[in-house]
Amino acid sequence: MWKKGLVSTLNMWIQCFCKNGKLQEANQLLEEMVERQVKPDHETYTTLISWNCKVKNMEKARQLFLQMQERNLIPLTSTFNSLLNGYSNAGNKDEVFSLFEEMVAKGIKPDEKTYYVMIDTYCKEGNLIEALKLRNVILDSGMPMSVTAYVSLIEALCKKEDISESLILLNEVGESGLRLSTARCSSIASNFNRAGDMDKAT
């Protein structure tokens, strides 16, 4: 079994382990691949990084990220996105910003998922200038905006009591054909209320 050319099969096993909650076994399979000189590929590492991020095992995810580069595998956009999401969900904004800078420096092209994470992170930092710049980059590039990205921007603007800009984005949501859930509508209404403009929320 352990011979070159079986990477795709082993990747399927890794996926299977991950989807069935056996991440430890998946990580161990990678170690065995390396020991037996079966070369892991981008899919191997990206899969394991993604699943380690999902369970907030960021130390292991970072270790795998560094390891793949030591093996001359350049991380893909999807690889960076998994790590960005992981650090964002863990509340580690410094790592999100650092990783995004690294991504750009390496010439890895961000996609809309990259920008969604960065918009949310900038909003949490209160840096609406940069967040809105990225929203413009998305739209100018013909990429779709997500409901989550819009909600992050609208709620951040409400906190700044910038109701006018919030309403512009709310109109954009409707014009783009996106739909807000009842829970998100209630959340936005509450933010308008706290900003002192309940008339706009109803």
Range of the domain at 182: 111-202
pLDDT higher at 191 or 41: 41
- Between CA 188 and CA 22 the distance in angstroms is 39
Over the stretch 136-162, which tens digit does the pLDDT of each residue have?
A: 999 999 999 999 999 999 989 988 888
The predicted structure's pLDDT at residue 187: 75
**pLDDT over 50 (residue 201):** no
Average confidence score pLDDT of the chain: 89
CATH of the domain at 198: 1.25.40.10
Are 88 and 16 within one domain? yes
Contact status, residue 145 vs residue 139, Cβ threshold 8 Å: yes
Rounded to whole angstroms, the Cα distance separating 44 from 41 reads 5
User: Of 55-59, 67-71, 174-178, where does mean pLDDT reach its minimum?
Assistant: 174-178
pLDDT in tens, 114-130: 999 999 999 999 999 99
Task: Please say if the pLDDT value at position 59 is more than 90.
Answer: yes
Nearest to 146 by CA among 175, 186, 176, 189: 176
Q: Which of 91, 109, 127 is the C-terminal boundary of a domain? A: 109
Residue 66's pLDDT is 96
> Cα angle at 163 between 161 and 165, to 5 degrees?
115
Verify that 91 and 138 share a domain, yes or no: no
On whether both 103 and 117 belong to a single domain, the answer is no
Q: How far apart are alpha carbons 166 and 149 in whole angstroms?
A: 13
Looking at 109, 143, 162, which one is the last position of a domain?
109
Closest by CA to 58, choosing from 85, 40, 19, 31, is 85
Report DSSP state, residue 161.
T
pLDDT band at 1 (very low <50, low <70, confident <90, very high): very low
- Do 115 and 49 share a structural domain? no
Q: Give the end of a domain, one of 84, 109, 134.
A: 109
Q: State whether 92 and 116 are in the same domain.
A: no
Task: Give the Cα separation of 99 and 131 in Å (integer).
Answer: 17
Contact 68, 45 (CB under 8 A): yes
Highest mean pLDDT range out of 28-42, 52-66, 150-164?
52-66
